[in-house]
Amino acid sequence: MRFNRFIGYFVFVLLSSPLFAQQPSSEVLATGSGRVVWFTPDFAVKWEYPAGNIHEAHLLKNGNILFADGKVTEVTQDKKIVFQYSPPNGKEGSFTCQRLNNGNTLIGENFSGLVKEIAPHGTVEFTLQTKFKTDNQHHRMRCVRKLLNGNYLVCHSGDHLVREYTPKGETVWEQNVPNIAFAAERLENGNTLISSLDQITEFEPNGNSVWEFKKSELPDLGITNMTGFQYLKNGHLLIGCYAAYNKEGKGVGMFEITRDKKLVWAYQKPTGQKVDRNMMGVQLIP
């Protein structure tokens, strides 16, 4: 009887431990190390495609995958390239992309600080010169999003700053963060979520912080650098990590947390599979 109680307690502890969280509710598209990778809920590889220093990837409504790794590429599931834009400086080109409702593709040129809208046939239909201070060409720009109001939300990574620009280049909102500004999303309530490696913070329009998750709040996971994220309809956050594992092999590639900072599931070095050290972009597929 005591043995049965012990086994029951052991199973409870095992399943409730952050290192043994349950799997995602659906499939996940992620940026890996040198690949875009599509996982089933049990983390089997459903599809993958080779890429460079890949920061962001999206499953589009047409079933194709759009990703940014210096160039911005759209590829079909049978691995045919149907769109590609190469910025003038490929090495420090575009690490961000967004497919707009009109069919154009939004990109941000890291080395130049330019935001561009590219038509499906490749012509540049809109250009916005943003403002930055850093001399580091590798960290002038990360995530860029066109907002519902027509403005542009830009992460100036090296300046540790997120800024909202009008199409004319006027600054209408900005927010400093403690570290590299990697990704930002404007929420339906008007607040803005920003990832800055060590933490993800929700800011009101007036700059007040109303919610924050720090990597130290789940110490058993060994979280390194929180980069791209997806704000889910249920209020959860799916988070991807850069340089996910330390020298001892501890860390996590991607994970999901609730609004009250409880771990839902975590993806850590899978046995018998390629280990993706960098998983900067993540998308839970409904």
Q: Residue 146: beta bridge partners?
A: 152
> What's the whole-number mean pLDDT along residues 70-87?
97
> What is the greatest pairwise CA distance in the chain?
74
- Judged against a pLDDT cut of 80, whether residue 5 lies above it is answered with no
| The predicted structure's pLDDT at residue 161 | 98
- Judged against a pLDDT cut of 60, whether residue 31 lies above it is answered with yes
- Judged against a pLDDT cut of 50, whether residue 19 lies above it is answered with no
pLDDT band at 265, cuts 50/70/90? Answer: very high
- Which of 91-95, 167-171, 244-248 has maximum average pLDDT? 167-171
| The predicted structure's pLDDT at residue 4 | 45
- Judged against a pLDDT cut of 60, whether residue 13 lies above it is answered with no
Q: Coil, strand, or helix at residue 221? A: helix
| The predicted structure's pLDDT at residue 272 | 80
- Judged against a pLDDT cut of 50, whether residue 41 lies above it is answered with yes
> What's the whole-number mean pLDDT along residues 153-159?
98
Q: How many CB atoms lie within 10 A of CB 20?
A: 13
pLDDT digits (tens, 9 = 90+) for 172-216: 999 999 999 999 999 999 999 999 999 999 999 999 999 999 999
Q: Mean pLDDT score of the chain, rounded to an integer?
A: 92
- Is the CB of residue 19 less than 8 Å from the CB of residue 268? yes
pLDDT digits (tens, 9 = 90+) for 104-141: 999 999 999 999 999 999 999 999 999 999 999 899 99
- Is the CB of residue 83 less than 8 Å from the CB of residue 65? no
- Is the CB of residue 52 less than 8 Å from the CB of residue 278? no
- Judged against a pLDDT cut of 50, whether residue 17 lies above it is answered with no
Q: What φ, ψ does residue 7 adopt, rounded to 5°? A: -60, -45
pLDDT band at 273, cuts 50/70/90? Answer: confident
| The predicted structure's pLDDT at residue 286 | 87
- Judged against a pLDDT cut of 90, whether residue 27 lies above it is answered with yes
- Which of 12-21, 224-233, 242-251 has maximum average pLDDT? 224-233
- Judged against a pLDDT cut of 70, whether residue 285 lies above it is answered with yes
| The predicted structure's pLDDT at residue 247 | 87
The rounded percent of the chain whose pLDDT value lies above 70 is 92
Q: Residue 128: beta bridge partners?
A: 115
Dist CA 39 CA 55 (whole Å):
17
